[in-house]
Copies of this chain bind each other. A is one copy, B any other.
Amino acid sequence: MADSKRTISIGVFDSGIGGLTVVKKIREKIPQAAVVYLGDTARVPYGTKSEETIKRFAREDAAFLIEKGVDLIVVACNTASSVALGYLKREFMNMPIFGVVEPGVKMAAEISEEKHIGIIGTIATIKSHAHKKALENRGITTVFEKACPLFVPLAEEGFTEGKIPELIAEHYLRDIKNRVDTIILGCTHYPILMNVIRNVVGEDIRLIDPAKAVADEVYEFLKSTDSLPEEGRGSLDLYLTDIPPHYHSLLNIFLGFTPDTIEKVDLKEISSC
């Protein structure tokens, strides 16, 4: 790890803009860190694509952040964390890499009283059973999984309240809500729909947003390796593979403040050719 005197650089990547919800929590917990974020907005979403393609994309994303000199990598994308984390750790053995599955599962396992836990996520995340396996490793076997593919476009289009998102949430969650006391929001977009999901599942179910748990884990890691930067104002540099027409409103939805820099990059120039 880097010397604690210099600023720690935390690389974060996601299939798109959604992972900025994780960046927000990291900045709250470790405001002095330099965060380098890569959003693969040219190829978003990952959650409807195959395991093979998601692994390739995740490798290219991680390689880009390593080129940028980051000290560790956070895979903010639940789909990439579910499908490709082990693969990334093998490909980049010297780089500390953190996913969002394990921290979310740990938090859910601690909070759930009945140990009946639900997972909602993209098609690829649910198909991987990554959360289910991680819960089973903790002895929790009453697990309900549900893919909610329309939640991502709903969040991105700003349909975060009203009858349309509520009907869709009701459609996805009506079976799961009577069977669990805790639901893991297994996609960075879902916290944007928190109110809608809350209205559908009621007040008694705990909703777990892994973003805070990930930030805590990174903080503990830096502390344990004596790498926590002591001062400095920190920074956020944003790299996007596409600058979509509506990215200003997306930044506003997911981040809520302006990054220090925003730059468009082509991953192929760096890692594939």
Contact = CB atoms under 8 A, between A and B. Distances in A.
A205 interface: no
A53 to B, nearest CB: 4
A164 interface: yes
A49 B150 contact: no
A243 B53 CA distance: 8
Contact of A150 (B127, B154, B241): B154
Contacts of A144: none
A164 B272 CA distance: 42
Contact of A167 (B150, B164, B244): B164
What DSSP secondary structure best describes chain A's contact surface? loop
A233 interface: no
A197 to B, nearest CB: 16
B124 A245 contact: yes
A82 to B, nearest CB: 13
Given A153-B150, A154-B150, A245 B164 contact: no
A164 B168 contact: yes
Given A50-B244, A53-B241, A152-B153, 8 more contacts: A42-B49, A44-B48, A48-B156, A48-B244, A49-B242, A164-B164, A167-B167, A268-B268
